[in-house]
Structure 1
Amino acid sequence: MSTTVQAPTQDLEAQLSAGSLVTDRDVIDAYASDKALFCPAGQALALVRARSVDDVVAVMAFATEHRVPVVTQGARTGLSGAANAIDGCLLLNVAAMDEIVAIDPVNQTCRVQPGVINQDLKAALAEHALSYPPDPGSVAISTIGGNVATNAGGMCCVKYGVTKDYVRAMTVVLADGTVTKLGTATAKGVAGLDLAALLVGSEGTLGTIVEVTLALKPALPPPITAVGIFPDTASAGRTVTEYMGSGAAPSLLELIDGPSVAMINAYGDFGLPDDVGALLLVQSNASGAGAVEELEAFQRIAEANGGTEVFVSDDPADSELLVAARRAVAPAMEKYANERGGGELVDDVCVPRSALGDFFEKLRAIATEFDVEIATAGHAGDGNMHPSVIFDAGDESQVAQAQEAFAAIMQLGLDLGGTITGEHGVGFLKREWLGHELDAGATLMHQKIKEALDPLGILNPGKMFG
């Protein structure tokens, strides 16, 4: 079913690349949301599949002139509703702007458009013996622009940091269509405020990123891997606290709880043991004998904290299979949830590593209090955990219980000195919780910055700031 192009969008169409403006209602509605539950999706005026910076400029200039909201999107793999349409908005999808503009081996940087898929960039860099470490779970399908918009992390972050640690510079189109360059391609630069960092994690509320300059690393050395088995998550959490406190620098330290392991085993053959309370997956790529020493230290600490078995392997095939098992958590949980009514709320709290033991003890109490299932995996080395609340989406009572459990987990994160989101962003899903985390001064600063860069309030309204 097609709709007639409204008069204002006819003016916009003339300014865009041929075929960029989409007014077919079925197509527009197919782009109206990301992967988050409980985040409403409105009816957009039109969809623009931008192919160039000029397309983005045209959209912003049109939106300012006509006071039309703009929701910028990429691959729509987000889990917070930040890419969801609102009524009457223009959906500005930049996924087709997917060029790797330049790779600079000497300066160890690259310039990319926002639609470049994270895994595609990694493959291109490997040909130059370079790497881009941030590796969110959606690495094979999420875009660099989306990763920057949410300050995405991933499994390597415990050693190599998150997206913001690699953003050197960017080109941004502001709300009125102004094109500006922020940051510097050089390794050092303190001329003025760090405005590029301000845009990282801003979820399309301050401008649209159309190019990013990223810092790179030499190709990462292959790791060796250890798996620790624990009777419960609390003992695994205490192991993480002690191990990281010892000065260890693993390249990966992930936790998968027992219910999640069971879901993975039902999903595919990854060789994980059955009937475990929790599993820690650890890798080290330290040079020389350092990797073996780090994993031997892990083994000692794990056993002292109740770990029942620790397996160590230097076989690359084992490492690949175990990392694949960790990446299978999301699809395995989705399959499990779909078989039980389709409800899944993925939380994203980050707590100090020293609080992990307490976090898991109190998470168990939350799971007991509410009539839902909670399964947890996450980046234990960072304290960034992803408890998933699983429920029957067709049962109103269970939906209410799930929302209460989800909120209780966020409050637990704050109570332990953490944050409501480590890498998924605020979006719509957690916008009411941002005020719980920010004090009055920080809230005022957010408001003033938003007003300065988006005086008409047209950039992703209703997201993040509520």
Structure 2
Amino acid sequence: MPDPAVLFTDRSGFPPDGPPRAVVRARTVADVQRTLAEAGRTGTPVVTRGAGTGLAGGAVTGRGAIVLDVSGLDRILGIDPVDGIARVEPGVITADLDRAAAEHGLMYAPDPGSVAISTVGGNIATNAGGLRGAKYGVTRDSVLALDVVLADGTLLHLGHDTVKGVVGLDLVGLVVGSEGTLAVVVGATLRLLPRPARVATAVAYFASVTAAADASIALSAAGLRPAVLELVDGRTLAAIDDLRGTGHAGRGAALLLVQTDGYGAGEEIEAVAAVLARTALTVETTLDPATAAALSAARRDALPAIEAKGRVLIEDIAVPRSRLAEAIDGVHAIAAATGTDVFVFAHAGDGNLHPIILVDTEAAAQQAADDIFALALALGGTVSAEHGVGLLKRAWLERELGADALALQRRIKQLFDPAGILNPGKAL
């Protein structure tokens, strides 16, 4: 049997309180139905998991629960290039779906940082985002229909295989992001988009993080909508230099990575460069894929470089784009006040920050995290943009949602799952 740490927890590192009662490795939808029907009959908690790449403790399985592993439901059932849809099982690796779509000149737009290892089902569970979110949105924007199994074993098809459809309530949108607390996803109809004919890339260095954040806002004010708009702060650039032997930190205190796509990518990247050049120390652009990969490497290397420093707490907040600079400055102030090392990179196009806290002592790291969550709410944002709530952020639910809204959401959970067996103690 695999290491229990692999089966019973996720990438958050949150420890389970004991061994599960059983592990079910589903290979068919019928396996899922039988498991939930029996769990419902006996009142046994069920925690559904895929690749276990979650960062909020959503797949941590406690004592006496059933681990329902759906990673074996991993077939791409079909791609329809005319209707622009893919039908998949939940265990499909996200990058594999995008590669399969590319064979038809299409793409699956969501691309979380874990794209090479995370599953479509896990992305649906947390409503994952990614680097292309600035233009193409998050997972929910690409989900048209879902096949789900309810807590009593009932199989339902929710949504439509069409882009438009307003018959009935939007139960698909409700299930996406529910972290396995309402139903178990066993199939999905996903929207595919034409693969861009061209991609152009710009990288700019700035004298301060504030200047970089302000430049990202200036792009929006200029009417530009890049496919990718990423920010990396100076501490993270230095960590990348330590890992790769590069010289990013010597070129500036922050970096912006911008990509445009489509037939007008070259023209648009020129407009982007003109805006960035107003405040940047340097700006470099390219239409060459190999050069673009080299320029983009700093963003892709950000998390591995920080993790090379030691154990980290990977956090995730979002604020209105107009307050991005305030948020980053605030995170750095929290680091100073708590005596912690905090590194920041961000999906600047949609105001999503990832403050990565290097864990020296648990108490200091948790204090920094709590202060960062409070900062997000004070700026009109959210304590979780795309990683989910899981176990790690439940204490912040009422503070963000309000007591009445939280009570309503819990009543909805009861309608889907009267016995409360689906991922209890998570998300809601």
TM range (shorter): over 0.9
Q: Could you tell me which amino acid in structure 2 is paired with residue 335 of structure 1? A: A
Q: Is 1:437 matched up with 2:411?
A: no
Q: Compare 195-204 and 227-236 and name the one that shifted more.
A: 227-236
Q: Is 1:157 matched up with 2:125?
A: no
The 1:123–1:235 alpha-carbon spacing in structure 2 relative to 1, beyond 3 Å, is same
Residue matched to 1:102: 78
> How big is the shift at 1:270?
6.5
For residues 106 and 286 of structure 2, the distance between their equivalents in structure 1, rounded to whole angstroms, comes to 25
Q: Could you tell me which amino acid in structure 1 is paired with residue 385 of structure 2? A: G
Residue matched to 2:92: 116
For residues 209 and 407 of structure 1, the distance between their equivalents in structure 2, rounded to whole angstroms, comes to 32
Q: Which runs of 4+ in 1 moved over 6 A?
A: none
Residue matched to 1:21: none
Unpaired runs of 5+ in structure 2? none
Q: Could you tell me which amino acid in structure 2 is paired with residue 331 of structure 1? A: P
Unpaired runs of 5+ in structure 1? 1-23, 393-397
Q: How does 1:168-187 map to 2 (within 5 A)?
A: 168-187=144-163
Aligned partner of 2:270 among 291, 296, 310: 296
Answer yes or no: is the 8 Å Cα contact 1:118–1:144 preserved in 2.
yes
Residue matched to 2:257: 281
> How big is the shift at 1:321?
2.3
Answer yes or no: is the 8 Å Cα contact 2:20–2:65 preserved in 1.
yes
Residue matched to 1:451: 414
> How big is the shift at 1:195?
0.4
Aligned partner of 2:380 among 414, 417, 420: 417
Aligned partner of 1:327 among 287, 293, 300: 300
Q: Could you tell me which amino acid in structure 2 is paired with residue 334 of structure 1? A: E
Q: Is 1:316 matched up with 2:289?
A: yes
Q: Could you tell me which amino acid in structure 2 is paired with residue 375 of structure 1? A: F
Residue matched to 1:129: 105
Q: Is 1:346 matched up with 2:314?
A: yes
Answer yes or no: is the 8 Å Cα contact 1:349–1:385 preserved in 2.
yes
Q: Compare 136-145 and 234-243 and name the one that shifted more.
A: 234-243
CA deviations 1:307-358 (Å, max 9, x no partner) are 2111112221111223333222222211122xxxx2x111110111100121
Secondary structure in 2 matching 1:154: coil
Larger Cα-atom Rg: 1
Answer yes or no: is the 8 Å Cα contact 1:43–1:86 preserved in 2.
yes
Q: Is 1:201 matched up with 2:188?
A: no
Structure-2-length-normalised TM-score: 0.96
Residue matched to 1:8: none
For residues 41 and 165 of structure 1, the distance between their equivalents in structure 2, rounded to whole angstroms, comes to 36
Aligned partner of 2:363 among 397, 400, 409: 400
Secondary structure in 2 matching 1:237: helix
> How big is the shift at 1:27?
4.8
Q: Could you tell me which amino acid in structure 2 is paired with residue 455 of structure 1? A: P
Secondary structure in 1 matching 2:11: coil
> How big is the shift at 1:28?
4.5
For residues 321 and 46 of structure 1, the distance between their equivalents in structure 2, rounded to whole angstroms, comes to 46
> How big is the shift at 1:38?
4.4
Q: Could you tell me which amino acid in structure 1 is paired with residue 284 of structure 2? A: F
Secondary structure in 1 matching 2:349: helix
Q: Is 1:391 matched up with 2:359?
A: yes
Residue matched to 2:335: 367
> How big is the shift at 1:45?
0.6
Q: Could you tell me which amino acid in structure 2 is paired with residue 318 of structure 1? A: T
The 1:383–1:460 alpha-carbon spacing in structure 2 relative to 1, beyond 3 Å, is same
> How big is the shift at 1:113?
0.2
Matched residues, percent identical? 46
> How big is the shift at 1:64?
0.6
For residues 334 and 15 of structure 2, the distance between their equivalents in structure 1, rounded to whole angstroms, comes to 23
> How big is the shift at 1:267?
2.3
Q: How does 1:230-309 map to 2 (within 5 A)?
A: 230-268=206-244, 272=248, 274=250, 276-288=252-264, 291-304=265-278, 306-309=279-282
The 1:391–1:456 alpha-carbon spacing in structure 2 relative to 1, beyond 3 Å, is same
For residues 7 and 248 of structure 2, the distance between their equivalents in structure 1, rounded to whole angstroms, comes to 37
Q: Compare 436-445 and 405-414 and name the one that shifted more.
A: 436-445
Answer yes or no: is the 8 Å Cα contact 1:270–1:325 preserved in 2.
no
Structure-1-length-normalised TM-score: 0.89
For residues 15 and 214 of structure 2, the distance between their equivalents in structure 1, rounded to whole angstroms, comes to 35
Secondary structure in 1 matching 2:309: helix
For residues 421 and 30 of structure 1, the distance between their equivalents in structure 2, rounded to whole angstroms, comes to 24
Q: Could you tell me which amino acid in structure 1 is paired with residue 427 of structure 2? A: M
> How big is the shift at 1:271?
7.0
What root-mean-square deviation, in Å, do the aligned CA atoms of Structure 1 and Structure 2 show?
1.6
Aligned length: 428
Answer yes or no: is the 8 Å Cα contact 2:205–2:251 preserved in 1.
no
